[in-house]
């Protein structure tokens, strides 16, 4: 296959065949494609901040912020602009190149658009890539966020369409696709992935990747999360998915989405250094740093640096990594 050209006609059977290969064959193919499209030995550090925590009316079965579940997390107001800017400055000082802001809302309300837009503009002025996850979007909102300097809109599909209603009932799969379409139409890049370990089967993981592959163009960013079970949520007692299954998902995404960032996201706190290294060596080229994600723990600076030292990776900006991809592609030809 042409390793530098994304395909938009993947069948589920083709993706299944890739996913279920012997792990060494699968990872080998993923790394071959990664080398053609991305410079070796580099990754992007991202950081995530909850700018409005708790009180969400959605019933996503994995989420501590849902008002449907008793998780001990109370509803908070939108964070002041100056606090967001201070957090962004700390993130950049810690090596972050990308700053993501998340709010526990079902959907973005028009009254909050100017406040969030001001946050985006301020973070952008710090020299960071910007990403937000704010729930569903209404007409015109994505355009306002884009004008403020938004680079990415995150809105995960979570799992396959078939398993989705087992996890969420307060919004539909089509609702999610509609929000992605609004962001895309406004010229905002998409950050879309899913969560492994919610009780789904391998066929659902394959189905998620297939759904992502049908988006045209492909999402520029594909985060793969391992469920962090939260006490009090319906999925709070879920058994952990294996790290090798995570590796299969990451490697398959690298093959199916050769030009996309594949982000190793939630779940790293509970992994050993070797397990995290396996996932980086399966094709991921971005991690989230900092002690917290939205409401869950994340490895700290010392563990992250030990991980990078162990695998011989260095942190790089998105500009450097994307230029490296172009150079690698030219050299390969």
Alpha carbon separation from 14 to 138, 210, 255, 257 (Å, rounded): 35, 9, 11, 14
Q: Is residue 74 part of a domain?
A: yes
Say which CATH number the domain at 284 has: 3.20.20.70
- What pLDDT, on the 0 to 100 scale, is given for residue 329? 41
pLDDT of residue 122: 97
3 found inside a domain:
no
pLDDT at position 328, please?
45
Please count the structural domains in the chain. Answer: 1
The question of whether 253 is a catalytic residue gets the answer no
Pick from 226, 263, 304: which is nearest to 38 by CA? 263
Does 219 map to a domain?
A: yes
Say if 233 falls within a structural domain: yes
Q: Give the span between the Cα atoms of 187 and 183, in whole angstroms.
A: 7
Active site residue 191: yes
- In the set 100, 248, 254, 268, the catalytic residue is 100
Q: Is residue 2 part of a domain?
A: no
Is 6 inside any structural domain? no
Please report, to the nearest 10 degrees, the dihedral formed by the alpha carbons of residues 201, 202, 208, 214 taken in order.
-140
Residue closest to 289 by CA, chosen among 272, 308, 274? 308
Options 90, 98, 131, 171, the catalytic residue: 131
Is residue 77 in some structural domain?
A: yes
Q: Is residue 15 classed exposed, middle or buried when 0-12, 13-18 and 19+ CB atoms within 10 A define those classes?
A: buried
Look at residue 134 in the predicted model and tell me its pLDDT: 95
pLDDT of residue 331: 47
Instruction: Spot the catalytic one: 98, 171, 176, 191.
Output: 191
Question: Choosing from 98, 171, 248, 263, which is the catalytic residue?
Answer: 263
Residue 65 structural domain: 12-332
Per-residue pLDDT of the chain (333 residues; tens, 9 = 90+): 445 568 889 999 999 999 999 999 999 999 999 999 998 889 999 999 999 987 788 888 888 777 777 777 677 889 999 999 999 999 998 899 999 999 988 889 999 999 999 999 999 999 999 999 999 999 999 999 999 999 999 999 999 999 999 999 999 999 999 999 999 999 999 999 999 999 999 999 999 999 999 999 999 999 999 998 888 888 888 898 999 999 999 999 999 999 999 999 888 888 888 999 999 999 999 988 876 555 555 556 778 888 888 888 988 889 888 876 554 444 444
Q: Identify whether 90 is part of a domain.
A: yes
| Residue tagged active-site, from 7, 16, 35, 56 | 56
- pLDDT (0 to 100) of residue 83: 94
Question: What is the pTM for the complete model shown?
Answer: 0.90
Is 131 in the active site? yes
Q: Which residues contact 252 (CB under 8 A, 6 or more apart)?
A: 15, 18, 19, 26, 30, 206, 209
Place of tokens 């658009």: 113
**Nearest Cα residue to 230 out of 218, 238, 220:** 238
Check 63, 98, 176, 248 and give the catalytic one: 63
pLDDT of residue 291: 61
């Amino acid at each position: 296959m042409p390793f530098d050209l994304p395909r938009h006609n993947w069948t589920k059977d083709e993706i299944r065949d890739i996913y279920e290969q012997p792990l060494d064959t699968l990872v080998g193919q993923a790394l071959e494609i990664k080398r053609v499209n991305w410079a070796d030995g580099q990754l992007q550090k991202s950081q995530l901040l909850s700018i409005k925590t708790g009180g969400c009316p959605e019933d996503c079965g994995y989420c501590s912020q849902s008002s449907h579940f008793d998780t001990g997390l109370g509803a908070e107001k939108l964070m002041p602009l100056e606090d967001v800017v201070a957090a962004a400055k700390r993130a950049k000082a810690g090596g972050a190149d990308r700053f993501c802001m998340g709010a526990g809302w079902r959907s973005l309300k028009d009254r909050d658009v100017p406040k969030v837009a001001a946050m985006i503009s301020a973070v952008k002025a710090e020299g960071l890539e910007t990403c937000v996850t704010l729930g569903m979007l209404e007409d015109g909102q994505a355009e306002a966020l884009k004008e403020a300097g938004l680079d990415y809109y995150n809105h995960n599909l979570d799992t396959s369409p078939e398993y989705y209603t087992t996890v969420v009932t307060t919004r539909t799969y089509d609702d999610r696709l509609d929000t992605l379409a609004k962001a895309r139409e406004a010229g905002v890049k998409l950050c879309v992935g899913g969560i492994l370990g919610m009780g789904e089967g391998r066929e659902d993981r394959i189905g998620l990747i297939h759904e992502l592959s049908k988006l045209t163009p492909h999402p520029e960013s594909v985060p793969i999360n391992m469920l962090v079970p939260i006490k009090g949520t319906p999925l709070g007692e879920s058994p952990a998915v294996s790290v090798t299954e995570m590796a299969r998902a990451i490697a398959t995404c690298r093959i199916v989405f050769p030009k996309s960032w594949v982000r190793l996201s939630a779940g790293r706190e509970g992994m050993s250094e070797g397990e995290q290294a396996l996932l980086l060596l399966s094709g991921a080229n971005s991690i989230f740093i900092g002690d917290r994600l939205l409401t869950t723990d994340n490895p700290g600076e010392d563990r992250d640096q030990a991980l990078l030292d162990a695998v011989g990776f260095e942190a790089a900006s998105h500009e450097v990594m994307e230029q490296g991809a172009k150079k690698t592609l030219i050299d390969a030809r």
